[in-house]
């Protein structure tokens, strides 16, 4: 808010001018500074006792004085020793009642003092963080969050400041863990997500913070935690991409052409050279090796337990502790199924949960179908998935249903069967494959997809004429085998590639295998022999 400067102010209280002079020559303006500082102290005491006083009366405002002192505080460290603690005290006691501008000014002054290394990061964060959690003012919260974030980023810019990171991470963890039902944990979750996005915190501890955020009892915190796991890496890539795109678009050829046409001057020369350097820097950045970053899902410390807890807490009970709306439930379900699919976990109650939701009239049913597909993998028992496939087939895929519905159903079934082919039985399969004759393109393609999948995987379930040429040939050749050579849970034997080549090489070398082995066993106790035959007992004292 601009104010008209009175005449007196321009002469006696011209703080910016004085600031500039002090920067150039601190010792000669010490008296002036002491005057200003004593003025600040007396106004400060006033505010300490009655914080609701308006700041705007009179010529000199407290906020201008605070601004001035914080800018030159590092020139007079002996006089301003108590300055930072004064400010923290004022904030702690009266942050709710102070005027907005004064309060914001105090916060920015504290950050400035941190920048000038008058106070350290820990003190600053210990002041700002409790304020962030407890203040009722929206604008102050936004300001504090931004300042905390930028402070953490600058502390980590040159090298990772492990100590600071650890302490802040512990604070965040404790906030969420100590009171799961409070909405204050949202700030810890927000901070962690933002720092993960910027790749400042990319370790397992940050992931554990988001883990308990997802298991907390406040809807917003849960949503924040789950979103982190679902979209974390995507956000990171987007952030990296947008950073690089900003610098793009320098066309060196065009610039050189312009330089040739325009008037030559030192300034234009400098600009051209700067543009060339920028392009070179971008190239180097692109070619630099990407720092190793594990996805959040891989850094989880106990995925089976986490998935179980998530499911048990948020989805399974009919009266969960946290009321989630459909969209949030879908998010949680998506996360659980992704975990199950990624780590091949076993979570049997999950599949019966789906049955209720697989109807065409269910809002966001395609999301449910996608989660189901994610959650199925080769170690899921087929009799668990069977009723699900039946339900989808009954509800979605029929002549009466709209063609989009039918194609959605067929695609869903195909996705499940890709991951667990044993979930299907013969009659159903043969029935579904008939749909490839339907008039609608979508349904046709979906049915054909199912057919080609089973031609590859389990052709003997199909009718003879649907099997196709390659599959039929294979079946006839491996006659005793039975086409569906996968039983549930069967896993290929592992082996080292090229082991037989080693044998071949040994033969070529003319070495006899058996002799080779015997020689290898000869001196196995050689060391112990020599020590006994050496001297007598060696006294080690």
Partner 1 sequence: MGSSAKKKREKKSDFKKTKLKVGKARPKNTNATDTSLAAKSIILKQQSLSETSRDATALFHHNLSLVSSSNAKQRENALQYLTTACVTAGKEGLPQSAGAIVAKAQPYLLDGDKNVRQQVLKLLKALPAGEIGPLDQILLYTKAGMVHLADDIKLFSLDVMDWLLHTNAEAVMACPGGWMKTLRTFQNLLSWHGGQMANGAVANGKWSATKTASNKLGSNKLLVHQLGTLANLLAIGLTAPPVDPLAAAKRAAQRFPLHQLDAHLVSKKSNPFAYLNLFGAVRDVESEVYDDADERIAVFRELGLLETFSEGAREAKKEAGEVGRAASGVEKALRLAEVG
Residues that bind partner 1 (CB under 8 A): 6, 8-9, 12-13, 25, 27-28, 30-31, 34-36, 38-39, 42-43, 45-46, 49-50, 53-54, 57-60, 360, 362-368, 402, 404-405, 408
Residue 108 and residue 66 in contact, taking contact as beta carbons nearer than 8 Å:
no
Q: Which two tokens stand for residue 93?
A: 């006691």
For helices 185-197 and 162-178, what crossing angle results, to 10°?
140
* Site of tokens 């039902």: 181
Residue 136 and residue 96 in contact, taking contact as beta carbons nearer than 8 Å:
yes
Q: 39-70 burial, b for 16+ CB within 10 Å, e for fewer?
A: ebeebbeebeeebeeebeeeebbbbbbbbbbb
Q: Which of 375/422 has CB closer to partner 1?
A: 375
Q: Which of 38/258 has CB closer to partner 1?
A: 38
Compute the least distance from the CB of residue 27 to partner 1, in Å: 4
Compute the least distance from the CB of residue 272 to partner 1, in Å: 42
CA distance 203 to 333: 25
CA distance 340 to 331: 14
Compute the least distance from the CB of residue 89 to partner 1, in Å: 10
Q: Which of 185/367 has CB closer to partner 1?
A: 367
Query: CA Rg, the chain, in Å?
Result: 35
Instruction: For residue 116, give the nearest of 83, 162, 91, 160 by alpha carbon.
Output: 83
Compute the least distance from the CB of residue 374 to partner 1, in Å: 16
Q: Which of 81/199 has CB closer to partner 1?
A: 81
Q: Which of 25/512 has CB closer to partner 1?
A: 25
Compute the least distance from the CB of residue 266 to partner 1, in Å: 35
Compute the least distance from the CB of residue 363 to partner 1, in Å: 6
Sequence-distant (≥ 6) Cβ neighbours of residue 276 within 8 angstroms: 252
Q: Which of 404/426 has CB closer to partner 1?
A: 404
Compute the least distance from the CB of residue 386 to partner 1, in Å: 23
Q: Which of 49/159 has CB closer to partner 1?
A: 49
For helices 62-72 and 100-115, what crossing angle results, to 10°?
0
Q: Which of 140/392 has CB closer to partner 1?
A: 392
Q: Which of 18/204 has CB closer to partner 1?
A: 18
Compute the least distance from the CB of residue 362 to partner 1, in Å: 7
Q: What is the largest CA-CA distance in the chain?
A: 107
Compute the least distance from the CB of residue 334 to partner 1, in Å: 14
Q: Which of 367/458 has CB closer to partner 1?
A: 367
Compute the least distance from the CB of residue 43 to partner 1, in Å: 6
Burial of 211 (0-12, 13-18, 19+ CB in 10 A): buried
3-state helix, strand, coil in the chain (%, to 5): 70, 0, 30
Q: Which two tokens stand for residue 395?
A: 């509800």
Angle at 49 between CA 104 and CA 79, to 5 degrees: 70
First to last CA, the chain: 83
């Amino acid at each position: 808010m601009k104010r008209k400067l009175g005449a007196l102010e321009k002469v006696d209280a011209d703080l910016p001018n004085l600031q500039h002079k002090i920067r150039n020559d601190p010792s000669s303006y010490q008296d002036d500074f002491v005057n200003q500082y004593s003025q600040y102290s007396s106004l400060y005491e006033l505010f300490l006792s009655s914080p609701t006083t308006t700041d705007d009366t009179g010529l000199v405002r407290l906020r201008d004085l605070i601004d001035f002192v914080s800018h030159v505080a590092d020139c007079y460290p002996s006089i301003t020793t108590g300055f930072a603690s004064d400010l923290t005290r004022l904030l702690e006691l009266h942050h709710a009642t102070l005027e907005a501008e004064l309060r914001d000014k105090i916060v920015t002054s504290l950050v400035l003092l941190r920048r000038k290394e008058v106070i350290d990061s820990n003190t600053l964060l210990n002041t700002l963080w409790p304020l962030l959690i407890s203040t009722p003012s929206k604008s102050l919260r936004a300001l504090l969050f931004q300042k905390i974030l930028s402070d953490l980023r600058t502390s980590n810019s040159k090298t990772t400041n492990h100590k600071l990171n650890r302490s802040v991470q512990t604070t965040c963890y404790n906030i969420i863990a100590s009171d799961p039902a409070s909405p204050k944990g949202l700030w810890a979750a927000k901070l962690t997500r933002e720092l993960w996005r910027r790749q400042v915190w990319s370790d397992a501890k940050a992931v554990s913070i988001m883990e308990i955020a997802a298991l907390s009892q406040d809807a917003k915190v849960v949503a924040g935690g789950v979103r982190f796991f679902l979209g974390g890496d995507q956000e990171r890539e987007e952030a990296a991409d947008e950073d690089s795109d900003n610098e793009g678009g320098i066309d060196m050829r065009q610039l050189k052409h312009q330089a040739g046409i325009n008037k030559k001057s030192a300034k234009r020369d400098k600009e051209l050279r700067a543009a060339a350097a920028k392009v070179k820097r971008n190239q180097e950045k692109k070619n630099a090796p990407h720092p190793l970053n594990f996805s959040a899902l891989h850094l989880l410390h106990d995925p089976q337990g986490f998935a179980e807890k998530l499911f048990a807490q948020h989805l399974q009970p009919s009266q969960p502790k946290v009321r989630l709306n459909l969209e949030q439930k879908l998010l949680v379900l998506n996360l659980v199924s992704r975990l199950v699919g990624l780590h091949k976990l076993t979570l049997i109650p999950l599949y019966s949960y789906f049955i209720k939701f697989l109807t065409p009239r269910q809002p966001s049913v395609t999301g449910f179908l996608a989660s189901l597909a994610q959650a199925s993998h080769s170690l899921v028992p087929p009799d668990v998935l069977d009723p699900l496939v039946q339900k989808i087939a009954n509800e979605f895929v029929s002549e009466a249903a709209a063609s989009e519905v039918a194609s959605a159903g067929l695609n869903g079934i195909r996705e499940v069967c890709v991951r667990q082919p044993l979930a299907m039985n013969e009659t159903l399969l043969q029935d579904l494959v008939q749909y490839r004759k339907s008039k609608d393109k979508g349904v046709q393609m979906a049915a054909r997809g199912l057919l080609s999948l089973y031609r590859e995987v389990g052709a003997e379930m199909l009718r003879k004429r649907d099997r196709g040429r390659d599959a039929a040939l294979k079946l006839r050749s491996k006659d005793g085998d039975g086409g569906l050579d996968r039983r549930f849970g069967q896993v290929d034997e592992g082996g080292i590639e090229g082991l037989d080549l080693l044998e071949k090489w040994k033969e070529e070398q003319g070495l006899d295998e058996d002799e080779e082995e015997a020689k290898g066993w000869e001196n196995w106790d050689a060391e112990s022999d020599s020590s006994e035959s050496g001297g007598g007992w060696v006294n080690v004292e």
